[in-house]
Amino acid sequence: MEPKIPGAPGPQPPTVAEPTEPRDPLPPKPDQDAPETVSPTGAVTGAPKTANSQQGPFLTTAQGLRLYDTDHSLKAGARGPTLLQDHHLREKITHFDHERIPERVVHARGAGAHGVFVGYGTAESVCKAGFLRKGKTTPVFVRFSTVVGSRGSADTVRDTRGFATKFYTDEGTFDLVGNNIPVFFIQDGIKFPDIIHAAKPHPDREIPQAQSAHDTFWDFVSLHTEATHHVLWHMSDRAVPRSYRTMEGFGVHTFRLVNDAGETSLVKFHWKPAQGVHSLLWEEAQLINGIDPDFHRRDLYDAIEAGAFPQWELGVQVFPDTPEQTFEGIDLLDPTKIVPEELAPVQPIGMLTLNRNPTNFFAESEQVAFHVGHLVPGIDLTDDPLLHARLFSYLDTQLTRLGGPNFHQLPINRPHAPVNDMLRDGYHQTAVHGGAAPYRPNSLDGGCPFHAGVADGAYVEMPQRVEESVKVREAPASFADHFSQPRLFFHSLSPVEQEHVIRAFTFELGKCYEQAVKERQLRVLARVDARLCSEVATGLGLPVPEFDGELPEVTPSPALSQIGRRWPVEGRVVGIVADHSVDGVEAARAALEEAGVVPLVIAPHGGPLTDGLVAQRTFLTARSVEFDALLLAAAPPPAPDALPARDTKAGAPSSTVDPRVALLVEEAHRHAKAIGAWGEGASVVGDGPGVVTGDDPTAVVQDVLTLLSEHRVWDRLA
C-alpha cells in the first residue's frame, strides 16, 4: 500500500516500498491491569487498562501523527544541510538519547518470567496470608540475576544469584527477594557498600568485570571473617549453576509469620527446584562465557517457550518464636548462619510455575522493582540488622533507577489488589486522582479513604518487646562464631564437590597479585579445615600457615550436597551428531522428546538432512557445553571447512573424524557427561563409565537418560 496525503495540493511525496502489506501490529500478551484509584464516591478512576502501545498499521510520531518517511531527514536540497525544523528527526533522536536508565547498582544482569503460585494450605496453622491458602492461585513475576556484573556481562560467572519473586496477591504485593545461597557475606547492612565496592571492578581500571577473582574482593573477605561462610558457598558449585531452573532459592533472613489466632512463628523460606539442583563445571562455565554469554537467559526463555515450565516448591523451616530467637544454639537473627535441614525440615507450602516469557524485556525484567518491605498480613519481620538496612535500600534505590516515586504505577509493578493511597503527583504520575482531600481525616471527600481493621485485612505489625537497652554500635556476642558453619558446609560436601571448592579457592587467589591478601586468606582457611588450607596453599606455592587452635566438631548436613540423588530429566538438552548417516536419529529424537528432553541435531551443514530431519546446529555452531549429554549416530570425516586437528602434522590429518566432532566427544568425556552411540558413531566415543554403545538407538537413549538423571557421570571425576 502506498502512503498518500489525501487531498494534499501540489506534488505527492516519494513513495517508499514496504516489504509486506501493512497490517495491524501483533496484539500484546495479556498484562496486569492498571492501578485502580478509587474516588471518594467509590468510583474507580486512574490510568486506563494497560494500553496497546502500538496501534494501527501506520508509523506515527509520539503524538499519533502519521509519517510518510522516517529514513531521510528534512534537508535544504538532497545534498544540503539538515533543517532544525525537522520535528520528526528531533523527536526520534531525543527519545533515543534518553532510552537508557541507570542499571541496578547490584544484580544489574538478570532475566525474568511470569508464572503462578498455588498454595497447598499447609502453612495455614502458622500463617494467615491468603495466597498460602489451599488451592489459591496467585500471579507472580520472578527475576533471576547475578550480583556483581553489569547489565551486559556474562551469565555463567562465579557469583551468587538473585532469586526475587513478586506475588501479586489479593491483599497487596508480597516480594520475597532471595538468593540462591542461604547466607550472606555480612551481618550488618551498614557494610553493604563496602563489600560491593570490594567485589565490583577496580575503580581505576574498571576490571575485572563480574568476577570475584581479584585483590579487592579477597582483601575485604579475608579482613571480615564473618564473610567466610558465604565465601565457602561462593567457591562451591552453587556459584556456577547449570541453569536458573536448577537453583535452590533462599529468603536468607528469618521472617516472622502470624496465624489467624495472632500466634507467631519464626521461619526461613526455601525454594526447591523440581528440576533438581545442578551446576556447571568451572571449565564449562568459563567456556560458555565466551561461546554464549546469554546462556542462562536463553535457557530460561527457551524452556518456557518450549512448554517445559520450570517449577519450584516453596517451603519453610519453622522455629518457635522465643524471646531469644535462637534454635539449637543458632542465632536466627544472624544472616551468616543456616539451620541444617536435618534439625528443622523444610515443610512444603506451595508450588511456583513459570509459564510465560515477558513481552518486553525493558518494560518487565528491567523495570520490575522489588522491595523486602512489600509485605502482606501474616508475614512480618525480625530484627536481623542486615534485613533492616535492606528495608531502607530498596525503595531508595528505585527513586534513582526508575526516576521518581511513582514506579509502582509501571505495569509490571502494579498491585493486583485495589489501591487507594494518598500519594500524589511527582515525576511520571500516570494516575488521574479524583477527590479534593488527599489527607486523613477529612470531611470534604466523605472521609474516604477509611482505615481498615484486622477483620478487613489491615496489615498490623506484631507488637514485639524491645529489650530495655542503650544505644550502641556493636554486634551481639552470638554473632561471633565465624568458622564452625563454613566447616559444617565443607564437611557436608562429597569428595568431588570438596575438590571443586579447593580448586576454586586456588584459582581465585591465584588471580590476586597481593601476597599479603593470599596469606591472610590462607590463615582464614586454616580455621575452617586443615586439608582445604594446605591444598590451596600448595596450589598457590605458599607455606601452609600454622594454626594451633581447636577446630570444632561438626555434624555434616547431607542436604547441602548436590550429588547422590536422581532428578527428572525434563527440559535438559541432548546433542545428536549425524551426517549423511541418519540411521536411528529419528528414533532417538522421539525417545528423547517422549522423556521431555530437548534433542538438537548437529550436522556438517544447516538445513534438512533428510525429508523430515533438520539440523539445528552445525559443526561450526555447536560446542559441547550447550548439551547435558551427547549421542552419536555417525563418525563424520573432516569437512572442508574444518581446521586441522590439534595433533595434526603439517598437511596430514591424523584423524578420520571431523576435529570439531572429536572435540565435542573429548569435552563431553572431560565434563563427565553421558555419551551414547550406535552405528558408525560407536567407533569414536571410546569407553569407560557413562559411555553407552549398542545397536538399538532407543535402548542407548534410555541408558543415557538414566545417567542424565544423576546430572553427571560422577565416577569419571572421582
| Residues designated catalytic | 107, 179
104 binds ligand HDE, rule: CB under 6 A: yes
107 binds ligand HDE, rule: CB under 6 A: yes
Does 394 carry a binding-site annotation? yes
Give the x/- contact pattern for ligand HDE in 204-223, rule: CB under 6 A: --------------------
390 binds ligand HDE, rule: CB under 6 A: yes
In this structure, what are the phi and psi dihedrals at residue 217, rounded to the nearest 5 degrees?
-60, -50
363 binds ligand HDE, rule: CB under 6 A: no
CB of 493 to ligand HDE, least distance (A): 22
Of the listed pieces 225-233, 363-371, 417-425, 645-653, which binds ligand HDE according to CB under 6 A? Answer: 363-371
Q: Give every strand in the sheet of 629-632, ordered side by side.
A: 617-618, 598-603, 573-577, 629-632, 674-677, 691-693
In this structure, what are the phi and psi dihedrals at residue 710, rounded to the nearest 5 degrees?
-95, 10
Out of 360, 397, 429, 506, name the contact with ligand HDE by CB under 6 A.
397
In this structure, what are the phi and psi dihedrals at residue 162, rounded to the nearest 5 degrees?
-80, 150
Rounded Cα distance, 88 and 696, in Å: 65
User: Which residue number, 123 or 369, has a Cβ lying nearer to ligand HDE?
Assistant: 369
Out of 123, 164, 591, 685, name the contact with ligand HDE by CB under 6 A.
164
Out of 143, 214, 229, 711, name the contact with ligand HDE by CB under 6 A.
143
User: Which residue number, 242 or 268, has a Cβ lying nearer to ligand HDE?
Assistant: 268
Half-sphere exposure of 260 (CA within 13 A, CB side): 6
CB of 89 to ligand HDE, least distance (A): 35
Residue 117 in contact with residue 170, Cβ under 8 Å? no
CA distances from 703 to 573, 666, 696, 700 (A): 15, 20, 11, 5
User: Which residue number, 364 or 658, has a Cβ lying nearer to ligand HDE?
Assistant: 364
User: Which residue number, 165 or 286, has a Cβ lying nearer to ligand HDE?
Assistant: 165
User: Which residue number, 235 or 372, has a Cβ lying nearer to ligand HDE?
Assistant: 372
Contacts of 595 (CB under 8 A, 6+ apart): 569, 570, 705
CB of 315 to ligand HDE, least distance (A): 16
Q: Long-range contacts of range 455-458, CB-CB < 8 Å, 24 or more positions apart?
A: 457/171, 457/377, 458/377
Rounded Cα distance, 315 and 83, in Å: 64
131 binds ligand HDE, rule: CB under 6 A: no
Helix, coil or strand: residue 143: strand
Of the listed pieces 24-32, 173-181, 221-229, 594-602, which binds ligand HDE according to CB under 6 A? Answer: 173-181
192 binds ligand HDE, rule: CB under 6 A: yes
Residue 333 in contact with residue 327, Cβ under 8 Å? no
User: Which residue number, 128 or 268, has a Cβ lying nearer to ligand HDE?
Assistant: 268
User: Which residue number, 163 or 309, has a Cβ lying nearer to ligand HDE?
Assistant: 163
CB of 520 to ligand HDE, least distance (A): 24
User: Which residue number, 254 or 498, has a Cβ lying nearer to ligand HDE?
Assistant: 254
Strands 598-603 and 573-577: parallel
CA 558 vs. chain centroid, Å, equals 25
Rounded Cα distance, 166 and 168, in Å: 6
Rounded (10°) CA dihedral 578, 581, 584, 589? 30
User: Which residue number, 474 or 611, has a Cβ lying nearer to ligand HDE?
Assistant: 474
560: phi > 0 → left, psi -120 to 50 → alpha, else beta; which? alpha
User: Which residue number, 489 or 678, has a Cβ lying nearer to ligand HDE?
Assistant: 489
CB of 247 to ligand HDE, least distance (A): 12
CB of 543 to ligand HDE, least distance (A): 35
Burial 16-42 (b: 16+ CB within 10 A, else e): eeeeeeeeeeeeeeebbebbbbbbbee
105 binds ligand HDE, rule: CB under 6 A: yes
CB of 333 to ligand HDE, least distance (A): 13
Counts of helices then strands in the chain (DSSP H, E)? 15, 22
Of the listed pieces 211-219, 365-373, 419-427, 457-465, which binds ligand HDE according to CB under 6 A? Answer: 365-373
Of the listed pieces 283-291, 386-394, 413-421, 705-713, which binds ligand HDE according to CB under 6 A? Answer: 386-394
Q: Which residues face 608 on adjacent strands?
A: 614
417 binds ligand HDE, rule: CB under 6 A: no
Binding to ligand HDE in span 264-303, by CB under 6 A: none
149 binds ligand HDE, rule: CB under 6 A: no
416 binds ligand HDE, rule: CB under 6 A: no
Kindly state the cell numbers that stand for 20.
509486506
Out of 386, 504, 625, 662, name the contact with ligand HDE by CB under 6 A.
386
167 binds ligand HDE, rule: CB under 6 A: no
Out of 189, 249, 486, 636, name the contact with ligand HDE by CB under 6 A.
189
Out of 138, 173, 179, 406, name the contact with ligand HDE by CB under 6 A.
179
393 binds ligand HDE, rule: CB under 6 A: yes
Strands 573-577 and 629-632: parallel
142 binds ligand HDE, rule: CB under 6 A: no
Rounded Cα distance, 144 and 243, in Å: 10
145 binds ligand HDE, rule: CB under 6 A: yes
In this structure, what are the phi and psi dihedrals at residue 282, rounded to the nearest 5 degrees?
-60, -40
CB of 321 to ligand HDE, least distance (A): 21
Residues in the chain: 718
Kindly state the cell numbers that stand for 150.
553489569
Of the listed pieces 36-44, 184-192, 558-566, 658-666, which binds ligand HDE according to CB under 6 A? Answer: 184-192
Rounded Cα distance, 623 and 703, in Å: 23
Nearest of 221, 223, 237, 227 to residue 180 by alpha carbon: 237
Rounded Cα distance, 480 and 331, in Å: 10
370 binds ligand HDE, rule: CB under 6 A: yes
Q: Which helix (H) or strand (E) holds 304?
A: helix 295-305
601 binds ligand HDE, rule: CB under 6 A: no
Specify the residue for cell string 546469554. 294
Helix, coil or strand: residue 198: helix
Rounded Cα distance, 482 and 349, in Å: 32
Rounded (10°) CA dihedral 638, 641, 647, 653? 50
In this structure, what are the phi and psi dihedrals at residue 536, rounded to the nearest 5 degrees?
-65, -45
231 binds ligand HDE, rule: CB under 6 A: no
Does 439 carry a binding-site annotation? no
492 binds ligand HDE, rule: CB under 6 A: no
User: Which residue number, 110 or 659, has a Cβ lying nearer to ligand HDE?
Assistant: 110
Nearest of 110, 162, 62 to residue 362 by alpha carbon: 110
177 binds ligand HDE, rule: CB under 6 A: yes
User: Which residue number, 1 or 101, has a Cβ lying nearer to ligand HDE?
Assistant: 101
Does 192 carry a binding-site annotation? yes
Does 390 carry a binding-site annotation? yes
Instruction: Indicate the DSSP class of residue 694.
Output: -
Of the listed pieces 90-98, 295-303, 389-397, 643-651, which binds ligand HDE according to CB under 6 A? Answer: 389-397
Does 623 carry a binding-site annotation? no
Handedness of CA 331, 464, 388, 254 (dihedral sign): positive
Does 401 carry a binding-site annotation? yes
**Residue numbers at the binding site for ligand HDE (CB under 6 A):** 104-107, 110, 143, 145, 162, 164, 177-179, 184, 189, 192, 252, 368-370, 386, 389-390, 393-394, 397
Binding-site positions for heme read: 104, 143, 192, 390, 394, 401
Binding-site positions read: 104, 143, 192, 390, 394, 401
